[in-house]
Structure 1
Amino acid sequence: MKSVCNINDYIFNGKFKLLSRFGVIGVMNTLIDFLVFTMFNEFTYIGYIGSQILGYGFGVLNSFIFNKKWTFKERSVNKKIIYEFLQFVIVNIISLIITIGAMRLLVSNLNINVYIAKVMVTLIAQIVNFLSYKFLVFN
């Protein structure tokens, strides 16, 4: 049991702290995003682009709260939360534009299933977001 605790401490508080915490929050965000995306894509007439915007938006809100409080614990007292939130929103708008463009390319041009495309663009967004959060937003 002690070795499990040591592994847990090493992963979530040691060398891989940021990446592992970001991963946990990323899974939560992705579940929220996919749930909202699927609900709107299947049960409304707004299409996959509108569903992507809504799903991504709900995931972003969750992401800001948990990444700020847990993953990239705020170290600077001087930084204003509004400025930080605006940076976060700008990063996510850029990421959303990338995912919408990639989804449109994959679904419309390459005829890839919308849910497979969703998985692919989610992976791209995670890479862009982690690097942007670490070096721009929560530095």
Structure 2
Amino acid sequence: MTEEGNRGLSTKLSRFAIVGILNTVIDFATFSALVALSFPALVANFLGWAVAVIFSFAVNSRWTFERGERFSLHRAFAKFAVSGSIISLGSSTLAVYLLPPLTGLFAAKLIGILIGAILNFFAARWSIENRVI
């Protein structure tokens, strides 16, 4: 087994990107549907993120990253959700709050999702594999 485990870094990055695309669709679709139902943008942003983070953890913890021998599902999800809330929820909330006058609401949401996705790869490795880099 390599230092990276059975799956190399390029495989993990590719899988993380695929999950990220699906996660983005889920987040954005949930957000859009809730905005169309007249939910406030920040509430819709939080609920879209919550649905997407559950999907993302379920798939990334089984398919993208390799679980350690002492993997604790509850502890890993807590680390994943906390880091995700700081990174992805934080970036998308800031974007939805600050950028709409410049970009429009939906473009702002996408910008926040993209920034969060880049940072979340490292957060996911930390929470699921207990690796920093």
TM-score, normalisation: structure 1: 0.81
Distance 1:137 1:15, change over 3 A: closer
Displacement after TM superposition at 1:84 (Å): 0.7
Give the % identical residues: 29
Distance 2:70 2:9 in 1: 27
Higher relative contact order, chain-length normalized (CA < 8 Å, sep 6+): 2
Measure how far apart 1:97 and its partner are.
Answer: 2.1
Give 1:112 deviation, angstroms.
2.1
Number of residue pairs matched by the alignment: 122
The reply to whether residue 26 of structure 1 matches residue 20 of structure 2 is yes
- Distance change in 2, residues 1:23/1:80 (3 Å): same
* TM-score normalised per structure 2: 0.84
Q: How does 1:84-123 map to 2 (within 5 A)?
A: 84-95=76-87, 96-107=89-100, 110-123=101-114
Partner amino acid for 1:23?
Answer: A
Q: What does the per-residue CA deviation read over 1:70-128, in whole Å, with 9 as the maximum and x for residues that have no partner? A: 00021x12131111111011011102123212221112xx4320011111111101011
CA distance in 1, matches of 2:60, 2:27: 16
Provide the aligned C-alpha RMSD in A: 1.5
Q: Any stretches of 5+ residues in structure 1 without a counterpart?
A: 1-12
Larger Rg: 1
